[in-house]
Structure 1
């Protein structure tokens, strides 16, 4: 039976939801304002992948030296093309940072809102799904920030058709690409969680996923092409490869999962 009998009216539920939303917005605004005033620290993180001293590039350089190759330092200059653009980008970036910092509190408030209407076993599954989904989303964002975006930026930012043509990347283009790639990879990393959930609900099986593996590869390439902010094959491959690996991991997860009605 449910943990708590639901006796509230529709308007009372709506009022509870309104209070939760107000709390979420207030906390997000506080974190956003804090991020706005810590401008140097905020953009030190955001702009770190553009410098050749970034940890990913240092590791690649060490691997190149170990393999007997040459290390080629690179430098990409970011420019601003609008009068108020830097200030607007500062505000948007601070807002994104505020929402990111508030995300655990957002999940907590949403769970508090829906939990009274759930049975005990449903609460257990919701906790697993929300916790696992949040962890996988964070992992996808980190992999994008430390691996996929730096490799993409270094390749495209230094690519030249002629030595007389310099690359001047706009700040807006840089941050938009970074945010979109991190968000896209965070969503992509939800594939194992969704596969596990569908397997538990009896909607998905490992045999089905193996049978349609070739179709899945085509779909992965199409989705990667859609979510890739650039149109080059290099970035497409960097996005599609983790998606394919996640699909293969999902097959193993589904195989180990047994049908259990939530």
Structure 2
């Protein structure tokens, strides 16, 4: 290769890299602008959003107990922080779309066919995990915590600590509900096969209960309410692998 050809190749690589960086910058700006627009629309309703989020705990507090703010700026900043989390939650389809639009040109046709349903499934499963935590797990956990509060101790939770706790539970449950997507991806890249997935059931059950014991509130009900869906979602992932990932059959020898 001559020096002229080498120089033109380097310039082409630099030009391609620069165009990709510009495309990434454009996608990030679009996603960020969408999040900010949603946030601006939610700010006037920040206090209402917090009241809705606090309902599972407030409804189970003893008579006369209530949430408290231990810092001067908490009554303002904590609902605003929740509005930001809600904006990210609502904007997730747009964020994933911008990510998909950036990586789509570099994928093969077979990868595109698999990636599209996986992205949609991951988004739906994350939302389902958060909804499951809010409507079922948190009420059960707060009922347990209110019942085991020692006599003479007044249960009053700081609003910032409550928000951090609930967001952590949402993220943990949303992430754990991604089990089917993780199973399909591992099978698609060849890390595991269908026989290996069937043989790993006992380890999955133990792992599900171990993970649930670590990330759920300290009561047996919450642990079971996460471990059992995780295992069922694993079985859903196995069924999806059986349906989507066609096993490679070696060609017959002549």
TM-score, with normalisation over the residues of structure 2? Answer: 0.81
The answer for unaligned runs of 5 or more in structure 2 is: 1-12, 249-254
| Separation in 2, partners of 1:208, 1:137 | 26
| Residue 19 of structure 1, CA deviation | 1.3
CA RMSD of aligned residues (A): 2.6
Distance 1:119 1:170, change over 3 A: same
Alignment partner, residue 116 of structure 1: 105
Structure with the higher helix share, 1 or 2:
2
Superposed counterparts of 1:172-183, under 5 Å:
172-183=160-171
Determine whether 1:19 maps to 2:26. yes
Bigger radius of gyration, 1 or 2?
A: 2
Q: Check conservation: 1:192, 1:247, Cα contact below 8 A.
A: yes
| Separation in 1, partners of 2:27, 2:136 | 36
Q: Check conservation: 1:160, 1:167, Cα contact below 8 A.
A: yes
SS at match of 1:77: coil
Q: 2:196 aligns with which of 190, 201, 208?
A: 208
Q: What stretches of structure 1 move > 6 A for 4+ residues in a row?
A: none
| Separation in 2, partners of 1:116, 1:248 | 33
Alignment partner, residue 124 of structure 2: 135
| Residue 83 of structure 1, CA deviation | 0.9
| Residue 143 of structure 1, CA deviation | 0.8
Q: Check conservation: 2:62, 2:146, Cα contact below 8 A.
A: no
1:212-262 residue CA offsets vs partner (Å, 9 max, x unmatched) = 32222222233223323x44444333322322232233333334444368x
Alignment partner, residue 206 of structure 2: 218
Alignment partner, residue 247 of structure 1: 234
| Count, aligned residues | 235
| Separation in 2, partners of 1:119, 1:207 | 27
The answer for unaligned runs of 5 or more in structure 1 is: 1-5, 58-72
Q: Check conservation: 1:77, 1:168, Cα contact below 8 A.
A: yes
| Residue 31 of structure 1, CA deviation | 1.2
Q: Check conservation: 1:17, 1:113, Cα contact below 8 A.
A: yes
Q: Check conservation: 1:78, 1:171, Cα contact below 8 A.
A: yes
Distance 1:161 1:41, change over 3 A: closer
Superposed counterparts of 1:10-159, under 5 Å:
10-52=17-59, 75=63, 77-159=66-148
| Residue 170 of structure 1, CA deviation | 1.7
Distance 1:99 1:195, change over 3 A: same
Kindly indicate whether structure 1 or structure 2 has the higher relative contact order, using CA contacts under 8 Å at least 6 residues apart: 1
| Separation in 1, partners of 2:68, 2:47 | 17
Distance 1:8 1:106, change over 3 A: farther
Determine whether 1:171 maps to 2:178. no
TM-score, with normalisation over the residues of structure 1? Answer: 0.79
